[in-house]
Amino acid sequence: MSANKNRDLIREEAIRLGFDHVGFSRAEFLEEEAPRLDQWLSNNYQGKMSYMERWFDKRLDPRLLVDDAKTVVSLLLNYFPEEMQSEGLPKISKYAYGKDYHFVIKEKLKSLTEFIREKIGEVNGRAFVDSAPVLDRAWAKKSGLGWIGKNGNLIHPKHGSFFFIAELIIDLELEPDGPLRDYCGTCTKCIDACPTQAIVAPKVVDGSKCISYFTIELKEAIPLSYKGQFENWAFGCDTCQDVCPWNKFSKPTSENAFLKRNEFSSMSYSDWEEMTAEIFKEKFKESPLLRTGLEGIKRNLKFILPHGEKPGQ
């Protein structure tokens, strides 16, 4: 079977499984990304995310992750919600409205891998969903699925940036797609809007200043110097995406697992504060919020409340 036919088969099946966009690139060393990653780490932009310092070489070369790797298949899955949170509530990042994407995407990748082996033959490889040293956005860009915006996110020209990114790294030779040009132009809306000035230069995000880092990744106390800057974000932050003009093209996800939980529609500060661990585990089973945990969310809520104000005021 020809390489082009194989590409078409994989793309068609991925779309049938629910992925929105599929791209292909050669599994090779990411030469352009190497100095950028090295500089980013040298500047300590990873903060307390020490895992970013590990596996430097593997992050840049997929052949160190998969023996005889030939192709990186990049896949996008839209998570933009049809229904937003009500105004005035503690804000939750849109990616966390529904079921944890790791569970959803892993099942789809498992099915896609089985399909490839059934239709094409003995193809070896690994699936990745934000859980291994893979530079997702770099591969998606290389696969022609968009460009890297000034906020560091991948932007698709027709559907914006509210996408999860996943990969299959396989030992099957396929014709690569070419990258797209950058269409951000002179726009700096994401840089200007960042509440903590975490976007220190176009396409360079100081992770140690990002609200998502503080509210999700950081396990210790949030520095008091950032008090009053979180704009009501209790878990993650979408500000740089919300202001991006390209996201006017975002369409609601067709993945039911990502639909907003009813709990978000009415949960106030006091509702969160009074919640027990048992109720939290029951309400948010298989939710991304489990990553931070109830105590972490309560810490975040205390931090974003103005001085002297109590939950429920």
Copy the structure tokens of residue 51: 């895992």
What pLDDT is stored for residue 311 in this prediction? 46
pLDDT above 90: percentage of residues in the chain:
87
Beta-carbon contacts of 99 under 8 Å, excluding residues fewer than 6 positions away, are 257, 258, 286, 287
Tokens 């003995």 correspond to: 122
Q: Give the catalytic positions in this structure.
A: 130
Cα separations in angstroms, 313 against 130, 167, 271 = 38, 45, 12
**Beta strands, E only, the chain:** 21-26, 71-78, 91-92, 125-128, 147-148, 154-155, 163-170, 199-201, 204-205, 233-235
| DSSP 3-state percent helix, strand, coil across the chain (nearest 5) | 40, 15, 45
Which residues of the chain have a pLDDT value below 70? 1, 306-313
Q: What is the pTM of this model?
A: 0.94
What pLDDT is stored for residue 19 in this prediction? 98
CB distance 230 to 297 below 8 Å: no
Beta-carbon contacts of 225 under 8 Å, excluding residues fewer than 6 positions away, are none
- 3-state SS class at 56: helix
- DSSP H/E element including 277: helix 277-283
Type of residue found at 236: G
- The pLDDT tens digits of the residues spanning 202-217 come to 999 999 999 999 999 9
- 3-state SS class at 61: coil
Q: How far is 210 from 194, CA to CA, in rounded Å?
A: 9
Query: Got the DSSP string for 233-254?
Result: EEE---HHHHT-GGGGG-----
- DSSP H/E element including 294: helix 293-304
- DSSP H/E element including 302: helix 293-304
